[in-house]
Amino acid sequence: MSSGDGRIIGYSIAGLCYGTYLFFSGFSKFREKLLIENTPTSKIRSIAMGRVEVFGKVIADRNNVAEGPFSGDTCVHCWWTVEELRSSGKSSKWVVISQGYIGGPFFIKDNTGTVLVDPDGARMDIPMDHEYMLSKKGPTGRIIEFLTGRGISYKGLIFNKELRLREYYLAPGDKVFVMGVAGKNPFADPDRASLNEEGVMIQKGKHKEFYYIADKDEKEVLKKMGWQVIIGFFGGAALMIVCLFIIFAYFRIL
């Protein structure tokens, strides 16, 4: 077997594994899509305990407002990543060296009421809001303060490291779709908890239920999932067939 043939077989095996992953992820997305389609969207004032789907707008409260670590923008929940460009031979790639989130439970509101949402454990489907590229000039201001406070080094032996910083956040006024479990609100005022939505908090649940938060409405969520199902099923199946054909042809199994 020549080195060229070895690479072809290696790529084919890798492609077969990735195609299998895509195919089964398509099944997973299909189940999630069906779950959303079969769960009616509840008005906040009429939320019942158990699985629930709601849509509204993020509202700010003095106790739940945060700031994006790099931009300083006001938000209620922010996922951030720090990546470093690392080289290996003739190629280079971005490697996540630190990540985390800022913020806690936040409120959403529709035309009937307000409910608390705890994002802990949720799959956050939120597009990137800001990206910062740092190289020889290095970071400035609040970015330096954040990186040093987290123990993230941006200095190399001679020049500063090449870093990429990203923020993904929910801000006051953003529309938000939530599918989770409505349970007791541990932060509720006992004297006011008789009001349904004040005694409820949407959360992950105790049995690893599907928990999903997106800054788009249900129609947009289902459209995106539909494409993911198609790519998973048909893209994964096509990739598996092509890679299997190459492998079988090489070993003369066909």
- The kind and range of the H/E element at 173 are none
Whole-angstrom Cα distance, residue 101 to residue 47? 28
| pTM (predicted TM-score) | 0.84
What does the DSSP 8-state code read for residue 232?
I
How confident is the model at residue 10, as a pLDDT? 86
| 6, 13, 150 from 250: Cα distances, Å | 10, 12, 51
**For position 5, what pLDDT does the model report?**
67
Residue of 32, 27, 91 whose CA lies nearest to 214: 32
- pLDDT value at position 70? 94
Which pLDDT tens digits describe the chain residue by residue (254 residues)? Answer: 555 667 888 888 999 999 999 999 999 999 999 999 999 999 999 999 999 999 999 998 777 889 999 999 999 999 999 999 988 878 899 999 999 999 889 999 999 999 999 999 999 999 999 999 987 666 778 898 999 999 988 887 777 888 999 999 999 999 999 999 999 988 876 654 444 467 899 999 887 789 999 999 999 999 999 999 999 999 999 999 999 998 888 777 76
| Distance of alpha carbon 26 from alpha carbon 233, whole angstroms | 5
Per-residue pLDDT, 8: 83
CA angle 2, 8, 23 (to 5 degrees): 155
- From the list 92, 121, 101, 225, the residue with the least C-alpha distance to 183 is 121
Return d(Cα 204, Cα 212) in angstroms, integer: 9
